[in-house]
Amino acid sequence: MPILSRRQLVGLTLLVLAWGINWPVMKVALREMGPLYFRALTMGLGALALAAYFATRRLRLVPRGWAEWRAVAVLGLPNILGWHALSIIGVAQLPAGRAATLGFTMPVWTVLLSVLFYGEKLTARLALGVAAVLAGITLLLWNEIAQIAGRPAGIAWMQGAAFCWALGTIWMRRARLTLPAEALLVWMMLAATAVLIPLALWLDPPQRWSFSAPVWASLAWGVFINYGLAQVIWFALVRVLPATTSAMSVMAVPIIGILSAPLVIGEWPHWQDLAAMACVVVAIGAVLLRRA
């Protein structure tokens, strides 16, 4: 693995911390907000903040022609709407660390879908990855069902979110894009917000807009850190980081989510969570990290 510069290492560390800590931070807001209201508000404001920042960088932000608008709609459906809507419902029903672990099974489903539908070769490493993911999901499902207050449906929501993210990743790789990636992200977020608002009005309980200080802080985190700073760092790093480094960062996010949950919201992991986390790390490593 190439040696990272000091600036790249700091950026990667901040990115992993932002994405990992975001999982328990979301749980703080969900104490007083409906999940779809929370996602629509933070995503919409985050998209506007990103648009303002990218405009200062003189990037082209307005799609041109039917093909670019079509890319926004088609790629945004699984990548943004599917992942963010289903994952926030899953977070509302599961401990934060558990939700993060399940959400970051995405790389395994990406490779599995590629094998089933896009002609990629089935390898021993892929079989190991799938087996490890299934073992992790079984551990968490067993723990949820064993508890009277368990919410095994949350596992289904998170796996649906991971599936959407995986499918969107495949479509994104195969798309012939002329719209800058930054502009594509902003418009996908705005389009998803436009769908989430009526869904929130329909499905979430009536929302009160008077919040405690921790909830306001979690909203600010969602807008400026999760949808703001983290995205800016990601776009700065994705052009220079090797694929193996990106893979390692993906594996670190659910670990940070589990370890930060006791500090942020007092959720302590069970042994099943730690074992499932290990299974997911093995799975992601199996499918993403090539042999030397």
Tens digit of each residue's pLDDT (9 = 90 or more) over 278-292: 888 887 777 666 544
Average pLDDT, the chain: 86
Only one residue has tokens 């649906």, namely 160
> Cβ–Cβ contacts within 10 Å for residue 181, how many?
13
End-to-end CA distance of the chain: 10
Amino acid identity at 53: Y
Q: Which of 124, 128, 96 is nearest to 23 (CA)?
A: 96
Q: At residue 24, what are phi and psi to the nearest 5 degrees?
A: -70, -30
Torsion on CA atoms 99, 107, 282, 251, rounded to nearest 10: -60
What pLDDT, on a 0 to 100 scale, did the predictor assign at position 185?
93
Beta-strand (E) ranges in 164-252? none
The yes-or-no verdict on residue 109 having pLDDT over 80 is yes
* 34: alpha, beta or left? (left if phi > 0; alpha if psi -120 to 50): beta
Rg of the chain over Cα atoms, rounded to whole angstroms, equals: 19
What pLDDT, on a 0 to 100 scale, did the predictor assign at position 72?
94
The yes-or-no verdict on residue 18 having pLDDT over 60 is yes
What pLDDT, on a 0 to 100 scale, did the predictor assign at position 1?
46
What pLDDT, on a 0 to 100 scale, did the predictor assign at position 153?
85
Contact 171, 75 (CB under 8 A): yes
Q: At residue 267, what are phi and psi to the nearest 5 degrees?
A: -95, 115
Tens digit of each residue's pLDDT (9 = 90 or more) over 30-79: 999 999 999 999 999 999 999 999 999 888 999 999 999 999 999 999 99
Q: How far apart are CA 237 and CA 2, in angstroms?
A: 14
Transcribe 58-116 into DSSP letters. Answer: T---S--HHHHHHHHHHHHIIIIIIHHHHHHHHHHHS-HHHHHHHHTTHHHHHHHHHHH
- 43's enclosing H/E stretch is helix 35-56
Only one residue has tokens 């995205």, namely 231
Token pair belonging to 174: 């195969």
